[in-house]
Amino acid sequence: MSECICGRRLMHDCCKEIARLEAALAEAKKQRDHELSRLAACGVAAMGNTKEAVVQRIDRDNPYWSASYGDVCASVDREMDLRSDLAALKASLPGMIAEAWATAIQIVWEWTYQKRVGGADIALIETMKERAASERARRIE
Ligand SMILES: [Zn+2]
C-alpha cells in the first residue's frame, strides 16, 4: 500500500487535492511564463523597425510567435513603408517645385507672347524663357 504525501500510511482525499492543486499551480506558472515571453516578443518586434531587425523576426513555428506578434510585425512593416515613401517624397520635392516653377513661367511667357502688341518687352520675355529652360534643366538633374 502506498504512503500518502503527508507521510502517513493511508492516502487522504484532502492530501490528493493539495497535490492536484500544486500541479495545476505549477502548470499555470509555466503558462504565465510562456505568455510573458510571447508578450516580450511583441515588444521586440515593435522596436525592430529596421531592415536588420526584420530579418531576425521569429517564424510562426516558434513557440513565442503569436497572432499579436504578427499584428505588430504588420504594423511595423507599414511604418517602414511610410518612412520610405516619405523619404522618396522629400527627395522628389525640389524636382516637383522646379517643375511647378517651369510650368508657371512657361504659362506666363506664352500669355505675354500672345498679348504682345507693338511695344512689349522682348528682353523680359526672353529672360523668362531662359528661366523656364533652366528650371527644366534643374528638374532633370
Ligand atoms: Zn495525507
Tens place of pLDDT per residue across the chain (141 aa): 568 888 888 889 999 999 999 999 999 999 999 999 999 999 999 999 999 999 999 999 999 999 999 999 999 999 999 999 999 999 999 889 888 888 888 887 777 777 765 555 667 767 777 877 777 677 666
Residue 22 Cα to ligand 1 midpoint, Å, equals: 14
How many domains, in total, are found in the chain? Answer: 1
Q: What cell was used for 47?
A: 522596436
Q: Is residue 78 part of a domain?
A: yes
| Ranges of H-type helices in the chain | 13-47, 51-54, 67-115, 122-140
Residue 8 Cα to ligand 1 midpoint, Å, equals: 6
The reply to whether the predicted model has a pTM over 0.75 is no
Residue 5 is given by DSSP the state T
Q: Is residue 25 part of a domain?
A: yes
Residue 10 burial (CB < 10 Å; 0-12/13-18/19+)? exposed
Provide the pLDDT for residue 62: 97
| Residues 68/42, Cβ–Cβ less than 8 Å | yes
Q: Is residue 8 part of a domain?
A: no
Q: Is residue 6 part of a domain?
A: no
Q: Is residue 2 part of a domain?
A: no
Residue 21 Cα to ligand 1 midpoint, Å, equals: 14
Please list, in sequence order, all residues whose beta carbon lies within 8 angstroms of the beta carbon of residue 46, skipping any fewer than 6 positions away.
72, 75, 76
Residue 2 Cα to ligand 1 midpoint, Å, equals: 11
Residue 139's φ and ψ, nearest 5 degrees, are -65, -35
Residue 6 Cα to ligand 1 midpoint, Å, equals: 4
Question: Which residues span the domain enclosing 120?
Answer: 13-140
Residue 41 burial (CB < 10 Å; 0-12/13-18/19+)? buried
CA-CA distance, 47 to 56, in Å (whole number)?
Answer: 12
Please list, in sequence order, all residues whose beta carbon lies within 8 angstroms of the beta carbon of residue 135, skipping any fewer than 6 positions away.
98, 99, 101, 102, 105
Q: Is residue 5 part of a domain?
A: no
Provide the pLDDT for residue 140: 61
Residue 72 burial (CB < 10 Å; 0-12/13-18/19+)? buried
